[in-house]
Amino acid sequence: MRKRNTPIAHPTNISSRDIGPLPWSYFVVIALCGCVLAAGFFLAARQHFTSMEFGMKNSQLRKQLEDLESENRRLVLAREISLSPAEITRTARSLGFYDVGGGTSSFAVSASDKTVKPLFLKASTDSSPAIEAIPASITMTAYQRPVKARPSEKPVKPVAPEKLVVKKLEAAKQKTVKAELAVIAKR
Amino acid sequence: MAARAKKTKTTNLRQTAFTRFTLIVAVLVLWMGGIGVRLVHLQVTKHEWLKERAEGQRQDIKRSKSPRGTIFDRNERALAMSVRVKTLYADPTKIEDVKTAAKTIAKVLNVKETELSKQLAEGKTNEKRFMPLAKGLDDEAFQRINKALDDSSIRKADLPKFNGLHWREDQIRSYPYKALAAHIIGFSNAEGVGQAGIEQSQNDILFGASIKRTQERDRLGRVYDETVSEKEPPKDIVLTISTPIQYMTEQALEKAVRASSAKSGIAVVIDNKTGEILAMANYPSFDPNKLNEITADNLSNAAIQGVYSPGSAFKLVTYSSALERKLISPEAEIDSGNGTIEVAKHKFTDSHAIGRVTYAKAMAQSSNVCAIKTGMRVGKEGFYETLKNFGFGKVTGVELPAETAGIVRNPDRWNGDSLASMSIGYEIGVSALQMATAFATIANNGVRIQPHIIKEIRQSDEQTVSVAQPEKTQVVSAETARDMRIMLRQVVVDGTARRAQLNGYTSAGKTGTAWKFDEKLKKVNSAKYVSSFIGFAPAENPAVTIAVVMDEPKVGGRDGGQVAGPVFREIAQQILPELNVKPEGFIGEEETFEEVSETVSSGPSAESHVDREPKASVVSKVPVKKETKPESTEAKPVSAKKPEKAKLAEKDVRSKSASPDKRPAEAKPNVQTKNKSSTEKKKGKT
């Protein structure tokens, strides 16, 4: 059987030991390790800063999302406000429409009045016969609405249809002439 | 000698080296020990302080509230919602030059510079850290102010770039439909806590949970990491009410209250097949956006919180009770005698004798004597059982706060004439919703469906959390309900509620008129009434039940048929097409109605009534031993012995055929062509 633990022959004198130069492979290994370490640090640093950057972007996006949600809520609210009956009424009034059912007095019928008349709408301010004749069940549309000229507005003179046609033709003619002149000028 | 000296020198050198080494080691040990002690001191003793400091440098904890849940109507219209707004506040301790800062801020915010300067100076002296400068600012104002206050020399990550100024996120509650359904929705206070209506009753569901944000910041104050911890987010509530129906109801009620100069009015619309409340209106009302305009008079939701004596409308319970026990039938006859009945030494009278009539006719004419006789036949226990089954004397369970149970005494506390009084709707207090539910029960073949106003509750991501599951109870049989509908139909066709006839639809219901209890006089006041009409339409296959109660009408008629009937008519006519209910026929608008006024009261005397009424807060209490006003009741004897049902059907057909069509052309059903000749005839007459 072969003896495994062969005694190592230590040199008795250190000075007599032959010290040669370090092999280049050592340097290569050390350099590689150094590179790996540096690359590791570099990558870690890069990841750290990237994560910070992402964190910042994430935070900004989160804020943006919240802002958009808030904006959405605001828009929904604005839509609801504009759809509310009070707002529609206000806008309609500003456009010149008025409430035909506002002055109905069909509820206030005297106790002594034994015979109830049919329920007709009565305009509270305007006693226009066109309105009085409309029964309660019919809702007036914009087309049925009797147009009442505002006192400040100047009455518009009616223009005959033939005159209107002539005017339109003249305008079209002038437009064509102008276009032709422009083309000539370009040339 | 020399060798000895050399040995000594060598020994000294070694000793010196050892001493030096020991010294170095000692210094190192001391140094490391010192560091160790310091580290232990810092990490153990000063751990909390250092942690706080470190976190303070890089962490920023912000607390806010998520927006309160939204309240929708059944058509997904937002009735109440919260929006985020910004508040600009100052931290005067961080402002170095108060005067210069005040000058700049005042210019941007358009406020007085001197006042602002004074406030900031005071804040700095008192070391105030929070001083709001502008509240409720929207995004546009936020951007504008940031731009105006921007100081490029300041290194600050947050806006505005101005020393000592910060933004805080808040929210405001907005009610886009203003006063519409204000009593149902209610309102919440500045802290976002519900104070009335759904806002109050469902506060826990709607409440905006607090959000905690832990932000990690770098040296420039930029947020690079954020942890958001939010408790359970608020939920949205979908109501059963419909905005158009609510609007129509409110408009009709307001007009009627104004026209009759009534003190107030109530209108409730219920889908009797589902128990869903489609509208609940009170007038006067309030705008929840303007909290300073809310008063005690307009705040109360009288439809569920007010108690009134129903008067003749309560005869529904009396007759239902008798019909259920097979004691009467609509066609059977009853003799009202001379229009007077005495019970426990108390005389109850009709306005005039109607003689021997059918029960349907007695109901139509609102005869007190007939109702009392019917109630007496039913008996105390039976009557009490029926009224409890209808839900009187207990809350309906609708999801609104402070609902009243009404006033119903136990039979052992009844007096000799209590049964008689209660048979005609006195000595009892009910809410408008209870009455509407009772009529809806009859309309729904005797099945009482618990009224409810919340359709569903859902998370913000539209995931439904809970859906309403109302309780259903069979109160009376379907046969009884059908007979009651026939009797109620008679009231509209030929009784006290002719003004509740609809154009194109059939309707049924009962009027009620009662004197009010006067708190000052401590007795009933014959000049003050509560007039009501509760009915449903169409009469055969009812879709909706509508209750209208008018408090103290002064101008015009006082009877429920005169005051509340037209309101019912207006509401029903508008909402039935909205609910896609097909018209059945036409009742002529120009047909003249022979007015039948209602017997108001022959209840117990004012004094005795005062003693027996519970001391609860009651909107109106009832009866008096007074003669009623003469009524023009059609006291025609029943000439023909035709069955009542046949007569009613005949009347319906007659009225349909004799009606001129006033509806728009597109809504005309096929019936029109059939009745063309009769329509033309009628038009010719008019």
**What's residue B610's pLDDT?**
32
Provide the pLDDT confidence category of residue B660 given band limits of 50, 70 and 90: very low
User: Are residues B664 and A138, on separate chains, in Cβ contact within 8 Å?
Assistant: yes
Identity (one letter) of the amino acid at B637?
A: P
Three-state DSSP class for residue B370: helix
- Would you say residue B201 has pLDDT above 80? yes
For residue B213, give the nearest of B227, B224, B223 by alpha carbon.
B227
**Closest residue to B255, CB basis, from A59, A86, A107:** A107
User: What are residue A116's phi and psi, to 5 degrees?
Assistant: -85, 125
Q: Say what the alpha-carbon torsion angle B64, B67, B68, B69 is, to the nearest 10 degrees.
A: -140
CA distances from B320 to B280, B408, B648 (A): 26, 18, 19
Instruction: Say what percent of chain B tops pLDDT 90.
Output: 46
- Token pair for B373: 């006789």
Is-contact B431 B211, C-beta < 8 A? no
Mutation target among B73, B85, B226 for the A interface, most CBs of A within 10 A = B226
**What's residue A44's pLDDT?**
95
**Reported ipTM:** 0.72
DSSP state of B202: T
DSSP state of B41: I
Q: What DSSP string describes B246-270?
A: HHHHHHHHHHHHHHTT-SEEEEEEE
**Segment B130-147, tens digit of pLDDT:** 888 888 888 888 888 888
Show residues of chain B in contact with A59, CB under 8 Å.
Answer: 215, 223-226
Longest C-alpha distance within chain A, in Å?
A: 144
Show residues of chain B in contact with A56, CB under 8 Å.
Answer: 222-224
Instruction: Say what percent of chain B tops pLDDT 70.
Output: 83
Is-contact B638 B361, C-beta < 8 A? yes
Mean pLDDT of B207-234: 80
CA distance B473 to chain A (A): 37
Give the span between the Cα atoms of B659 and B10, in whole angstroms.
142
- Token pair for B24: 């170095």
CA distances from B681 to B189, B660, B661, B676 (A): 62, 9, 12, 9
- B504 vs A114, higher pLDDT: B504
Identity (one letter) of the amino acid at B340?
A: T
For residue B549, give the nearest of B259, B262, B186 by alpha carbon.
B262
Mention every residue, 6+ apart, whose C-beta is less than 8 A from residue B263.
Answer: B551, B552
Neighbours of B591 (CB within 10 A): 16
- Would you say residue B521 has pLDDT above 70? yes
- Would you say residue B538 has pLDDT above 90? yes
Give chain B's mean pLDDT.
Answer: 81
Give the lowest-confidence range in A58-62, B471-475, B567-571.
A58-62
Mean pLDDT of B534-543: 92
**Residue in B with minimal Cα distance to A55:** B224
**What's residue A131's pLDDT?**
33
Give the span between the Cα atoms of A48 and A52, in whole angstroms.
6
Provide the pLDDT confidence category of residue B39 given band limits of 50, 70 and 90: very high
- Would you say residue B313 has pLDDT above 60? yes
Mean pLDDT of B163-168: 87
Show residues of chain B in contact with A104, CB under 8 Å.
Answer: 255, 259
**What's residue B262's pLDDT?**
92
Three-state DSSP class for residue B406: coil
Q: What DSSP string describes B115-150?
A: HHHHHHHHHHHTT-S-EEEEEEE-HHHHHHHHHHH-
Provide the pLDDT confidence category of residue A122 given band limits of 50, 70 and 90: very low
**Segment B53-94, tens digit of pLDDT:** 888 888 888 787 888 999 999 999 999 999 988 889 998 888
**Segment A17-52, tens digit of pLDDT:** 566 777 888 999 999 999 999 999 999 999 999 988
Show residues of chain A in contact with B664, CB under 8 Å.
Answer: 137-138
**What's residue A22's pLDDT?**
76
Instruction: Say what percent of chain A tops pLDDT 90.
Output: 16
* Category of B173 on φ-ψ map: left (φ > 0), alpha (ψ -120 to 50) or beta: beta
Mean pLDDT of B218-241: 83
- Would you say residue A187 has pLDDT above 60? no
Provide the pLDDT confidence category of residue B492 given band limits of 50, 70 and 90: very high
For residue B454, give the nearest of B664, B206, B277 by alpha carbon.
B277
